[in-house]
Copies of this chain bind each other. A is one copy, B any other.
């Protein structure tokens, strides 16, 4: 699974605690997380295309959440980055080789293997669908060391201040 997913989720959690109306550019998000700015921008574009974040161009521009944090599930983010295609792709190899006889009528029922894999993937998706960015933030707030939380909040406040001053 792509590493960008972790970046994208973390970015959403940061954008979620942004003051109403404020915005944060990709470069600042990259600096906060210590990742390559340009590449992170690429993933943010994917989130934008999926309608999870809004992009504001020009000076004082940047990204902000397009929906409420509790309306964005982890599955939304994952699918925005990785695409909605299922991981397991059945190529119907049962229809190939010497044992394949009746092309059309014999294969009306779906491949049992594909069905089992689909059930597993649905279970995975259901689990991700049940967790929102807001939930993640709540867990992080409760679990992380207070100093850590304060450092993040300070940096964020300082960055916003700095941008509004320029």
Contact = CB atoms under 8 A, between A and B. Distances in A.
A43 interface: no
A155 B87 contact: no
A136 to B, nearest CB: 5
B123 A34 contact: no
A43 B147 CA distance: 50
Interface string A128-156: 10010001100110011101100110010
B120 A140 contact: no
Contacts of A144: 94, 106-107, 109
A47 to B, nearest CB: 15
Interface SS, A side: helix
Interface in A71-95: 74, 87-91, 93-94
Contacts of A126: 123
Interface string A94-135: 101111111001110100110111011101111110010001
A148 B88 contact: no
Interface of A: 1, 3, 5-7, 9-10, 13, 31-35, 74, 87-91, 93-94, 96-102, 105-107, 109, 112-113, 115-117, 119-121, 123-128, 131, 135-136, 139-140, 143-145, 147-148, 151-152, 155
25 contacts: A1-B88, A1-B89, A3-B91, A6-B89, A6-B90, A6-B91, A6-B113, A7-B93, A32-B97, A34-B93, A74-B113, A74-B117, A94-B144, A101-B147, A105-B145, A106-B148, A107-B144, A109-B144, A116-B128, A119-B127, A120-B127, A120-B128, A121-B124, A123-B124, A123-B127
